[in-house]
Amino acid sequence: MDKQRIKSLWDAARRKGKEYIIKFIAWRKYRTARYHGLSRWGKAGNKILTFAGFFLLYLLLVDINFLWLFGKSPSLKSISDPPQLISSEIISADGQVIGKYYDENRKPVKYENISPALINTLVSTEDIRFYKHFGIDMQGLLAAFKDALHGNARGASTITQQLVKNLYKTRSRHSTGLLGYVPGIRLLIGKTKEWTAAIKIEFLYSKKDILAMYLNTVNFSSNAYGIHTAAKTYYGTTPDKLNYEQSAVLVGMLKAVTVYNPYLYTERAKERRNVVLQQLADNKFITQQMADSLKKSPLALNYSLERPQGGVAPYFRDYLAKFLEKWGEANGYDIYADGLKIYVTIDSRLQKYAEEAVQKQMKQLQERFSPYWLAHNSWRSKIRKNKPGQNPPDENLNQPQTARVFDYNKEGYKKLKISMAEYYRYMNQFLHCGFVAMEPDTKHVKAWVGDVSYDYWQYDKVAQSKRQPGSTFKLFVYTAAMLAGQSPCHKFIDQPVVYKYDGGEWKPKNANGIYGGYPMTLRAAFARSVNSIAAQVAQKVGISNVAKCAHMMGIQSKLVEVPSLCLGSSEVSLLELVNAYTTVVADGMYHSPVIIRRIEDNAGNIIYEENTKPERVISYENAFLMIEFLKGGVTEPGGTSRALWNWDLFRWDTDFGGKTGTTSNYSDAWYVGVTPKLVGGTWVGAEKRSDQFGSSRLGQGSRAALPVFAMFMEKVLSDKNFTRYRAKFPKEPRQQISRAYKCPSYVPPEIIEADDLADPAKTEDVAEEVPKPEMEVEEKAAER
């Protein structure tokens, strides 16, 4: 393009510009002349319209983040689907809410489920012109501006604007753009975003919806988010039942939730309540007489703080949370914020029976164990002096102070003047327990007790802790024998055994160190838990096949294939052991433990449902034979489960079987009891593996662990709600089997005499020669 062409275009642009400027000046002169010709009221109206126009233009510029000056604002999409953290509920098999997962403990309620008294109180106190404005109260804004000029600054936020602050945190989460760095501008921009978002909310929602949304988002202190949780926390009721006095207390808190917390600051909250009641009278929602009467009433709180770890079966819920966190991450759900309904297999009634059985047995056991422990240890001992070259001990550990410590009383604790060093030694004297019950047919976990007190020991003894199972592991030895073609009637001689292997030789001993020297059927040997015969069977079928059988039936832990494995030298968890026992009772069908039935989102849609099918791992015939083994522990003379006859269990037309287990130093006692419809397992042990149960053999499975199962089943079978658990094993197999299982065996007189129900310890099994294999073990810190 030549220079002449450029010059001509430039001249044309200048002429056009001058023309527009002239027209604008003429328009301004016209407007000015017209304005001066208006009356006083006309001029006032013109100013108001001009201000309104510029105000709307400003709101629009802020909302669209013009030139990135103001930062992002809540969009129509986010307002149509507002963010809200909702707690997820855990619902038991009997329909009880047994716990929650949440970052903010909140459960939304609809407007129809909120008391009119609460609605009136909220509007009267927070926004009396709520039903007249469109999200911004211009009258309130002007009044607040006027008061600010007189040095009496106050807020003028509507309920809708407060809802925006609660939902979107416009003054913190959203950026304020380039102008936000200018002093004093940041607050104005944040307020403007509240106005624009409030207008959008008023456009999309009804006034009723806005009130319900607001009450669902408010923080009422004491970990109570939303009116549903607040009503339950402070008054033990629901939002639809709140009266004017209660509503005045809760709405009064909104001015400063901590300052006016009625539980923490009673008098201050009462004064604030009375102010709210007077406002209700002034605004004609209640009469002055009613307000004066309510002002005289005390704060009738029914306070109950809901803690995240509170609820039924806390150890189970911890285990459940780990599964759900992984599932949620893989499927795009947050169990702490998405308001899920998690239907679990735990039955709150069975859980109660299990906890009662554990508490009763462990209290009695502790009373007998503590004198023995104190005779060998003193929790009042001084801290040892440091050796040369070591850092000096922390003297603060020896300074006594009042502390809550665990105790088997009604409160679950007592107060002691105790130093930190003494505290740790005091807590180490307590025995611990785990118990879990499962249905063999469905694999549903019905009860789960991880220890004696969740407040003091969070380490779960059902799934986390792994200990040597002792003779309960013999189930897999004899199952491997059945898989190899043996029968319950095959006989082995009870005699000393030398088990030679690559690492040397191993000589297992019987619990009492005595060998009968006579032939004994496998069924009788299992029932009496004869170590020498278990070792011979393992030697015959091969340790590797025993380990393979255990893994096949449900043991997940690593098993070290050494000869002592047959007596339970490798560590396992109680959960996997009990699940493996259910494989036998379920006719040889394996399935991992089921803890969830289904999960629903906050709209009621099913997003997860358990539908895994069991798989057969051992034949029906071998499972039937192993049930005969387990029944023998109760019916055979000298059987290690004979102590079950001491409880009221056998009048409910129900069959029992089971197996005890005890480790060599009595630090672990086990029992797994089976019925056709319910299997339960117990572990009892000391905090330190070196702490023995004492010379009275309190650590034997039949004395320490079996009573928990027995007391649990005693309550379950006597409960009319659980008649489905009353059942018998088939007397005859449903399928034709090739091996004999009805095999009476010769029992020497001394064995019969030892079969003393009042003292089951006489026939108890103890794996006294179970060397601990080289393998990874729990850290002491984890154990605590």
Map out the domains of the chain as residue ranges: 12-63, 103-296, 432-778
Q: Is the pLDDT of residue 166 over 70?
A: yes
Query: Which residues of 331-430 form beta strands (DSSP E)?
Result: 341-344, 401-406, 413-418
User: Class of the 432-778 domain?
Assistant: alpha beta
**Residue 178: its pLDDT value, please?**
62
Average pLDDT, the chain: 83
Q: Is the pLDDT of residue 357 over 70?
A: yes
Q: What angle do CA 354, 635, 650 make, to 5 degrees?
A: 45
Cα 758 to chain centroid, rounded:
40
Give the tens place of pLDDT for each residue, 752-778: 433 333 333 333 444 444 444 433 333
More confident of the two residues 308 and 691: 308
Token digits of residue 366: 């502790």
Would you tell me how many other CB atoms lie within 10 Å of the CB of residue 485? 11
Token pair 């299997």: residue:
679
More confident of the two residues 751 and 151: 151
Share of the chain above pLDDT 70, in %: 77
Model pTM?
Answer: 0.78
* Cβ neighbours for 317, distance < 8 A, ≥ 6 positions apart: 90, 98, 99, 311
- 88-91 and 413-418 beta bridge pairing: unpaired
| Residue 462 CA: distances (Å) to CA of 21, 173, 201, 466 | 86, 43, 50, 8
Average pLDDT over residues 403-427: 85
Give the tens place of pLDDT for each residue, 619-645: 999 999 999 999 999 998 889 999 999
**Residue 232: its pLDDT value, please?**
93
SS3 343: strand
Q: Is the pLDDT of residue 510 over 90?
A: no
Q: Is the pLDDT of residue 653 over 80?
A: yes
**Residue 373: its pLDDT value, please?**
66
The crossing angle, in degrees rounded to 10, of helices 574-585 and 474-483 is 40
Token digits of residue 295: 């002002």
**Residue 211: its pLDDT value, please?**
95
Cα 541 to chain centroid, rounded:
43
**Residue 52: its pLDDT value, please?**
66
Give the tens place of pLDDT for each residue, 541-573: 999 999 999 999 999 999 999 999 999 999 999
Q: Which of 111, 127, 134 has its CA nearest to residue 251?
A: 127
What are the backbone dihedrals phi and psi of residue 305, each rounded to the nearest 5 degrees, phi first?
A: -75, 125
**Residue 484: its pLDDT value, please?**
95
Average pLDDT over residues 31-41: 66
**Which CATH code for domain 103-296?**
1.10.3810.10
Q: Is the pLDDT of residue 194 over 80?
A: no
Q: Give the pLDDT band of residue 375 (cuts 50, 70, 90).
A: low
Within the chain, how many helices (H) and strands (E) appear? 24, 18
Share of the chain above pLDDT 90, in %: 53
More confident of the two residues 637 and 483: 483
Give the tens place of pLDDT for each residue, 712-722: 999 999 999 99
What are the backbone dihedrals phi and psi of residue 549, each rounded to the nearest 5 degrees, phi first?
A: -65, -40
Q: Is the pLDDT of residue 284 over 80?
A: yes
More confident of the two residues 123 and 744: 123
**Among the listed ranges 200-204, 317-321, 487-491, 604-608, which one has the minimum average pLDDT value?**
200-204
**Residue 454: its pLDDT value, please?**
92
Q: Is the pLDDT of residue 463 over 90?
A: yes
Contact 215, 226 (CB under 8 A): yes
Q: Which residues of 443-453 are buried (b: 16+ CB within 10 A; e: fewer)?
A: bbbbbbbbbbb
**Residue 756: its pLDDT value, please?**
35
**Among the listed ranges 112-121, 238-247, 418-427, which one has the minimum average pLDDT value?**
418-427
* Cβ neighbours for 630, distance < 8 A, ≥ 6 positions apart: 475, 581, 584, 657, 658, 659, 674
**Residue 374: its pLDDT value, please?**
66
Contact 295, 280 (CB under 8 A): no
Contact 248, 262 (CB under 8 A): no
**Residue 371: its pLDDT value, please?**
73
Distance CA 126, CA 140 (A): 12
**Residue 654: its pLDDT value, please?**
96
**Among the listed ranges 65-69, 208-212, 395-399, 536-540, which one has the minimum average pLDDT value?**
65-69
